[in-house]
Amino acid sequence: MMRATRIFLSVTLASTMATVATADPFKPSAKDQVQLGQKVAAQIRKEEKVLPDNDARVKFIRQVGAKLLAADAGDTKAPWQFTFDVIESKEVNAFALPGGPVFFYTGLLDKMETEDQVAAVMGHELVHVRKEHWANQYAKAQRESLVLNIGLILLKANNTIANISNLGREVFNDLRYSRNAETEADDIGMQTMIKAGFNPNGMADTFRILQSVSGGKGWEFLSSHPDDAKRVKRVEENIKKQGKTFPPQKKLNLPKTKYKEDPALDSIAEGFLSAITLRGMSGQR
């Protein structure tokens, strides 16, 4: 009887693992990712100072986003629902939520000197969505947290959708990408920039600006990478491999943000930002 049980469990486990290999039961579906991203984006729009649609900075960000998306025509059948918004905040940051919502902080936008640099940040973030980096990381975390017991595996697989539906603001804590994911976002983001007609040197310049802003103390966009200089060097090497001459970078002509000092609001914002670990363009967000 015990032998028969062992055989049954072995066959069942093998069957289950084969299913996992072809369709990961722990990974949120594209539909789930879109719904989750929209849910969290709605919360952000209520809690953060999101600039109105008629603001010049919002219009510009959306123009760049549309240009980058149009350059990747092969991805038009994907279910992603991209939106582009700007948050008025001194924080130097930008991020993409699962499914498509992208948010750019004025603190970062004010540091940008060319349109190409903005395109570099956005191109990078779009890759995180298209390559499902959050969903893959979520699935990996779920698998690692399980005890290797067939009953628990099956239970977890059946409850995946329910778990996803209960996620909200805490999704920020799960947006921690591996170095491989970040490198992929850099590489593909640069290719998308080129296809869209931007100068890829804008990406290298962006990292230089961010390093300067950090004063060498590990600025948040770059904090997951032990050697930031190697990341910049990799981008520069990839540009050389293109063997092309690119159009000059276009100067960014946008109004700088004038912040109203409000100690109470600053305190609330500081508390909120310290509660999340999301950091754009870095693995340790």
Q: So what's the pLDDT on residue 173?
A: 46
Q: So what's the pLDDT on residue 110?
A: 96
Q: Indicate the DSSP class of residue 114.
A: B
Q: Which one has a higher pLDDT value, 277 or 201?
A: 201
With a cut of 90, say whether residue 237 has pLDDT above it. Answer: yes
With a cut of 80, say whether residue 14 has pLDDT above it. Answer: no
Answer for the pair 232, 207: CB distance below 8 angstroms, yes or no. yes
Q: Indicate the DSSP class of residue 278.
A: -
Segments in the chain forming alpha helices (H): 2-22, 30-47, 56-71, 106-109, 115-130, 133-145, 150-158, 160-165, 179-195, 201-214, 228-242, 263-274
pLDDT in tens, 180-223: 888 899 999 999 999 999 999 999 999 888 877 766 554 444 44
Q: Which one has a higher pLDDT value, 126 or 149?
A: 126
Q: Which one has a higher pLDDT value, 161 or 25?
A: 25
Q: What percentage of residues in the chain have a pLDDT greater than 90?
A: 49
**Distance separating alpha carbons of residues 218 and 180, to the nearest angstrom:** 19
Domain ranges, ordered by start, for the chain: 24-274
With a cut of 70, say whether residue 249 has pLDDT above it. Answer: yes
**Radius of gyration, alpha carbons of the chain:** 21
Mean pLDDT of the residues in the chain: 77
**Sign of the alpha-carbon torsion through 11, 14, 17, 21:** negative
Task: Produce one character per residue of 86-107: b if its CB has 16 or more CB atoms within 10 Å, e if not.
Answer: bbbbebbbbbbbbbbbbbbbbb
pTM of the model: 0.75
- Name residues whose C-beta falls within 8 Å of residue 62's C-beta, 6 or more positions apart in sequence: 84
Other beta carbons within 10 Å of 173: 12
Least confident piece of the model among 1-10, 42-51, 143-152, 184-193: 1-10
SS3 state at 237:
helix
With a cut of 80, say whether residue 61 has pLDDT above it. Answer: yes
With a cut of 50, say whether residue 63 has pLDDT above it. Answer: yes
Residue 232, phi then psi, degrees to nearest 5: -65, -45
- Kindly list the distances between the CA atom of residue 263 and the CA atoms of 48, 212, 225, 248, 275, in Å, as whole numbers in the listed order: 16, 27, 33, 42, 18
Q: What is the mean pLDDT of residues 47-55?
A: 96
pLDDT in tens, 66-100: 999 999 866 556 789 999 999 999 998 899 999 99
Other beta carbons within 10 Å of 130: 18
- Name residues whose C-beta falls within 8 Å of residue 18's C-beta, 6 or more positions apart in sequence: none
With a cut of 60, say whether residue 38 has pLDDT above it. Answer: yes
Terminal Cα distance for the chain, rounded: 51
Q: What is the mean pLDDT of residues 223-234?
A: 65
Residue 100, phi then psi, degrees to nearest 5: 140, -25
Query: What is the maximal distance between C-alpha atoms in the chain?
Result: 77
